[in-house]
């Protein structure tokens, strides 16, 4: 079986708390006559309303998306980032969309950031690659982005990549879920975000 990655976009609703699959998510699927995916990881709760399959073709016709996908595959297979001076590093745009855009992330002070870098370096050199190491490494990557001078460029590029028009049927599905009496008070954010799908 062939395995790989698909770079696309999906419509997500981020929530303030956990949902029950049977009592809260399944009724949404019945109400909209659509399979709604519920994801829960590291204290982040979200509903994927329109998945990558629904939006991939519209995403791929965007010329900027073509460059983004090409750079992501280039960095994935060659461990290189395409040198393209007009674009921020594409991986940073993906990390922003997936981990920063819908969450409150405050930049660390220089001292705090340097301590984090040193701790990761110590763990790396000692070969202690635990789940905590992975979380710290991801947090360091997030901090590098929010502290970077190109942060505003990253935000703008993500907006351009996720700017697509939904069909009337898709808008109806989104609005039905956003106005649901159980879901509405729990909504933290709702938007089209970049995604990376493993298959």
Q: Domains in the chain and their CATH numbers? A: 1-62+164-199 (3.30.70), 64-163 (no CATH)
pLDDT digits (tens, 9 = 90+) for 166-192: 999 999 999 999 999 999 999 999 999
- Mean pLDDT of all residues in 7-19: 97
- % residues pLDDT > 90 (the chain): 71
Q: How far apart are CA 189 and CA 164, in angstroms?
A: 18
- Residue 174, classed as helix, strand or coil, is helix
Provide CB contacts within 8 A for 191, sequence distance 6+.
Answer: 11, 12, 101, 102, 162
Rounded to 10 degrees, the C-alpha dihedral 104/109/149/156 comes to: 0
Does residue 155 register a pLDDT over 50?
Answer: yes
Its pTM surpasses 0.75: yes
State both tokens at 25.
Answer: 């998510």
pLDDT digits (tens, 9 = 90+) for 71-115: 888 775 555 444 444 445 888 999 999 999 999 899 999 999 999
């Amino acid at each position: 079986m062939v395995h790989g990655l698909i770079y696309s976009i999906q419509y997500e609703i981020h929530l303030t708390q956990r949902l029950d699959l049977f009592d809260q998510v399944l009724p949404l699927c019945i109400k909209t006559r659509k399979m709604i995916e519920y994801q829960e990881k590291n204290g982040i709760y979200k509903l994927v309303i329109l998945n990558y399959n629904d939006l991939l073709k519209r995403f791929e016709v965007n010329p900027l998306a073509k460059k983004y996908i090409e750079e992501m595959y280039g960095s994935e297979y060659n461990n290189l980032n395409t040198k393209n001076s007009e674009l921020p590093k594409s991986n940073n745009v993906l990390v922003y969309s997936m981990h920063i855009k819908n969450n409150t992330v405050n930049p660390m002070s220089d001292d705090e950031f340097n301590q984090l870098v040193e701790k990761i370096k110590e763990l790396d050199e000692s070969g202690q690659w635990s789940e905590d190491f992975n979380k710290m490494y991801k947090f360091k990557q997030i901090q590098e982005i929010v502290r970077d001078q190109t942060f505003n460029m990253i935000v703008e590029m993500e907006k351009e990549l996720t700017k697509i028009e939904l069909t009337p049927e898709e808008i109806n599905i989104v609005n039905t879920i956003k106005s649901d009496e159980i879901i509405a008070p729990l909504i933290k954010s709702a938007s089209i975000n970049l995604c990376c799908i493993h298959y």
